[in-house]
Structure 1
């Protein structure tokens, strides 16, 4: 690996790898942890990880976290994804923790960031049936009351909500001005009276949910940041969010590559290892090169984010999300092709890699949107 790391970062990567091997290193272990592959997040396992301090890798030390860097965070995410640790809630939890650390009140930080460190899962709700890529078109409404706020409306594609302890809700608090104005973030403890969480069946199982808010009452201090500034606050967190997605997909791509390489190195056809055929050997070389280049991009941008914590790295962060997800999807598809029918069989992990990566070019801002953002930074 070409990546330059400090001694502490190398120690972190080794420790996480050891944890993954010990807790979920075999397929039998992962089957038990996920109820035969039906679950994506094992809460007990995540709390054991949190017990080592890693859930608070980016949480400031004054709230019990490690106060680590974006590079540290990316290392943790990459290695847990490579280890296929069933803790799907971690990435979204880190996104929420970043928003609270930036914009939360002292009381919110004390409560929510310490809960992140303890291993509580967080969820964030932005998308709506009529507001997907165009998130600013959201209509879920929070109206002022004598005691705080009342929320009504529907959200969709909400990750983690069926097991999370807290929800970061993005809702409309004003209809005046442009659609980017009048948006506010709220902290919603889960479960909440008046909130129905309904799972959505997908290719990957139950990962996301529809949320239905019916007169959900929130106190005045549920606002995270400033009323009406939710859009600006969302944009401020994009660098971290896209680094999280990029690191997870680099880890998944590397695991899919490693599984395919192990297969073609042992599988024999026509009297020789199939990996010795030039067609497959060249494919392996191309995929290895793409993964290494992508990893370098992710960590280069992570270092930029550490050096310029208040700067929105619109171009670079979108490049991370675009490149990492496209590469991960390609590796899984070509890995399945190299493994033939075995790559399609559920007794091997490759079909799971495909399901995990095929949607990655859609969530967190579609790759079409990422390309548009990148193009605009060049004045187009």
Structure 2
């Protein structure tokens, strides 16, 4: 079983207590999210930043806590389990890790100081014809005097409507293979030539279309090396998929907790519905799957901490696949076991289900994760 140090256990309790105090009731969560229309409260996120949590995995030299992946997963698991509306944290931490690895010193210090203070970030890869096949992207950055001029469209970009800046992946050279000639650029919010349009989704305001029209950024906006964007993206997969897995673990646990409370209290045929074997066995299965997922999440986190430079495509894909599939199964079953109440907005079940289902799509679809895992076995 997962065993935390006393300090890690205390940290988990601190995050859980914060969420119970700030987001423990539906009324509180509605206040933070404009009655559920937003999945991220920047105000609440800054309160977490004041406690040092926004920069938990940012190196101490940049003002962060310098904690490892285990502590990062603890924070995300407990924050999501506590229903803290900080949906923007995943893209922010994924993007911050890229800046910390590849940006020059001046840009790194600027961006990471903002992250520690509670700024949100966004990363933009997908395009209308480049989703799972990110290497097919066509948004282009052309070298001009003193910088780069960007033209093209991006889509499904999380956080862009409130992020301090966007880490853009654009094509700077088309002469080689599709994974060559890609470059990462720092694009501050409000840059002239950038237009952001909301995409309406089941989850409310989460993602956006981005349109770049002769959008100029200076040479200093290049993050890492020109033409090396694909390799830089691959270097961040361990962190990205761990973040997504830890968040979905917390969501699955919350769904389990809420479902358990409901089926203990809801009575039909003169007894709690949870006492019927059909529901009791179903919950036993979900409890086992969630426990196994937690073991996998923290095993991968520990492995990543032991060797931060090691690429773990199999393990990273496994942990993302497992956590999101378990979360999806738990939330769908939770709605079923709650009957009509699971469908009603009076309860959180329907919102949890929406958050779980989309997790099997973003961050690399689960079909792609299975393909990656299969390839690591020579298939």
Counterpart residue number, 1:256 = 255
Kindly indicate whether the alpha-carbon contact (under 8 Å) linking 2:121 and 2:163 is maintained by their aligned counterparts in 1: yes
What corresponds to 1:29 in structure 2? 28
Q: Kindly report which structure 2 residues correspond to 1:233-244, keeping only aligned pairs within 5 A, or say none.
A: 233-244=232-243
Partner of 1:358: 357
Structure 1 counterpart SS, 2:54: helix
Give 1:206 deviation, angstroms. 1.6
1:23-51 deviation digits (Å, cap 9, x = unpaired): 11101000111111001111111001000
SS at match of 2:36: coil
Summarize deviations over 1:226-284 as a string: whole Å, max 9, x none: 00000000000000000000000000000000000000011100000100000000001
Alignment partner, residue 326 of structure 1: 325
Which residue number corresponds to residue 230 of structure 2? 231
Unaligned residue ranges in structure 2 (runs of 5+): none
- String of CA shifts for 1:296-349, please: whole Å, max 9, x gaps: 101100011111111110000000110000000000000001000000000000
Give the 3-state SS of the residue equivalent to 2:168 in structure 1: strand
TM alignment of 1:1-380, pairs within 5 A = 2-380=1-379
How far is the alpha carbon of 1:205 from its aligned partner?
Answer: 1.2
Q: In the aligned structure 1, how far is the partner of 2:318 from the partner of 2:306? A: 18
User: Which portions of structure 1, spanning 4 or more consecutive aligned residues, are displaced by more than 3 angstroms?
Assistant: none
Instruction: Look up the SS of the partner of 1:80 in the other structure.
Output: helix
Query: 1:140-195, CA deviations, whole angstroms, 9 ceiling, x for partnerless residues?
Result: 00010101000000000000000111110000000011000000001111021110
Report deviation, 1:204: 1.1
Give me the whole-angstrom Cα distance separating, in 2, the residues matched to 1:25 and 1:203: 23
What TM-score, normalized by structure 2, do the two folds share? 0.99
1:7 deviates by 1.1
CA distance in 1, matches of 2:236, 2:124: 15
Distance in 2 (CA, whole Å) between partners of 1:102 and 1:110 is: 12
Q: What is the CA deviation profile of residues 68-118 of structure 1, one whole-angstrom value per residue up to 9, with x for unaligned ones?
A: 000000000010000110111111100011101111111011101111000
Answer whether contact 2:167 2:187 (CA < 8 A) is retained: yes
CA distance in 1 between counterparts of 2:45 and 2:245 reads 21
Q: CA deviation at 1:371?
A: 0.2
CA–CA distance in 1 between the matches of 2:107 and 2:11? 29
User: Are 2:39 and 2:203, in contact at CA under 8 Å, matched by a contact in 1?
Assistant: no
CA deviation profile, 1:348-371 (whole Å, cap 9, x unmatched): 000001110111100000000000
Query: Structure 1: 5+ residue runs without aligned partners?
Result: none
Q: Deviations over 1:180-219 (max 9, x none)?
A: 0000001111021110000001111121000000011100
Local SS of the residue matching 2:359: coil
Instruction: Quote the Cα distance in structure 1 between the aligned partners of 2:88 and 2:67.
Output: 19
- Structure 1 CA distance, aligned partners of 2:151 and 2:139? 6
**How many positions carry a matched residue from both structures?**
379
Is the Cα–Cα contact under 8 Å of residues 191 and 215 in structure 2 kept in the other structure? yes
CA distance in 1, matches of 2:194, 2:108: 24
Counterpart Cα distance in 2 of 1:19 and 1:215: 45
Whole-angstrom CA distance in 1 between matches of 2:45 and 2:3: 28
